[in-house]
Amino acid sequence: MIMDEQKTTQTYEPKDYKNGQSVRWCPGCGDHAILNVLHKAMAELGVPPYETAVISGIGCSSRLPYYMNTYGFHTIHGRGGAVASGFKVANPKMTVWQVAGDGDGLAIGGNHFIHEVRRNVDVNLLLLNNKIYGLTKGQYSPTSDRGFVSKSSPYGTTEDPFIPAELVFGARGTFFARGIDVELKVGQEIMVAAARHKGCSVVEMLQNCMIFNNGIHNYITDRATRADRTIHLVHGEKMLFGKDNDKGLVQDGFGLKAVKLGEDGYTIDDVLVHDAHCRSNFLHQQLAMMDGHELPLAIGVIRDVEAPSYEADVEAQVRDVEAKHGFKSLRDMILSGDTWEVK
């Protein structure tokens, strides 16, 4: 009873989720800001550190569990999703965060990624996207743009990149949000929303790599033009953007169009209202595909819909089978069918 009362009255601060380790990322790396935002989001959520786990694969971003005062697991390349899924199924009451880079999560870990999303395992997946392999010193990644010149593509890549949102929607994902490392308030907002969502929550964080891909997101992060090249989506609010919120998104046939209010007859009434809870992902995908050029890049929670979560259904199935057959252990279940005795 005392423990339950402590759980309901205990409040936490960001420092409660820090473990005091010296942070070893390059100065200026976007990982610093994302780590800071994660600590703040965890404090806002109020889940105790001892009920939280942070799991990663391999890469610069995957060092993040070292800097958390929670349970943590630094796994092998691309396998963070498999370990995080198994951990959640075995410990359904724990809050599980997974951290992956664009290489770790979408190359060798790509298969785990799509099935983790498809199964809707209740894991909060932070996908840190700097469009480069940083830890291995500058090779192009699955999200690098066509023609990108790197150490492993000295004459430019000859392939189109993955767009993480497309993978999420293709796997029938229930939650997708996007942030950028320089927008700290939006980052905290979407991490909190991801944790409160029941199911697999994918949060793409666009970040800078000072050493091997410096300025890759400058087109959208530059302070002078950011307001015109990004749009902060909030459920139930008009899709407005621009320094003075004088621009908006309207329906244009089956697509979207950016307009300026007061020009060509467009008014606030023409601007779409964001519905993150719509079951259909048709409009969500269009919003997520905007890249900051013809249409502003969408940040914030783009999709957030309810659906059964994998670990909850597994837990219910186990209880049902135990009740019907009286199994008390795995051994009981195995020995309940046809068996042979070898002598």
Is residue 271 assigned to a domain? no
pLDDT tens digit sequence for 259-299: 999 999 999 999 999 999 999 999 999 999 999 999 999 99
Which CATH number is 102's domain given?
3.40.50.970
Q: What is the DSSP letter of 238?
A: B
Cα 199 to Cα 79: distance, rounded to the nearest angstrom: 19
State yes or no: pLDDT of 2 exceeds 90: no
What pLDDT score was predicted for residue 180?
98
Is residue 115 assigned to a domain? yes
State yes or no: pLDDT of 329 exceeds 80: yes
Is residue 120 assigned to a domain? yes
State yes or no: pLDDT of 3 exceeds 70: no
Cα 102 to Cα 84: distance, rounded to the nearest angstrom: 17
Beta carbons within 8 Å of 183's beta carbon, 6+ residues apart: 230, 299
pTM: 0.93
pLDDT tens digit sequence for 289-328: 999 999 999 999 999 999 999 999 999 999 998 899 888 8
What pLDDT score was predicted for residue 226?
97
Is residue 27 assigned to a domain? yes
What pLDDT score was predicted for residue 332?
86
Looking at 113-246, which runs of residues are DSSP E strands? 124-129, 175-180, 201-206, 230-233, 240-241
Binning pLDDT at 50, 70 and 90, where does residue 333 land?
A: confident
Binning pLDDT at 50, 70 and 90, where does residue 5 land?
A: very low
Contact 310, 173 (CB under 8 A): no
Contact 19, 54 (CB under 8 A): no
Contact 146, 161 (CB under 8 A): yes
Q: How high does pLDDT run on average in the chain?
A: 94
Mean pLDDT of 206-211: 96
State yes or no: pLDDT of 230 exceeds 70: yes
Is residue 273 assigned to a domain? no
State yes or no: pLDDT of 113 exceeds 50: yes
Is residue 319 assigned to a domain? no
State yes or no: pLDDT of 334 exceeds 90: no
State yes or no: pLDDT of 257 exceeds 90: yes
Q: Which residues pair with residue 202 across a beta bridge?
A: 125, 176
Q: Print the domain residue range for 202.
A: 2-227
State yes or no: pLDDT of 88 exceeds 70: yes
pLDDT tens digit sequence for 151-180: 999 999 999 999 999 999 999 999 999 999
What pLDDT score was predicted for residue 340?
81
State yes or no: pLDDT of 54 exceeds 80: yes
Is residue 46 assigned to a domain? yes
Mean pLDDT of 230-245: 98
Is residue 7 assigned to a domain? yes
Q: How many domains, in total, are found in the chain?
A: 1
Binning pLDDT at 50, 70 and 90, where does residue 223 land?
A: very high
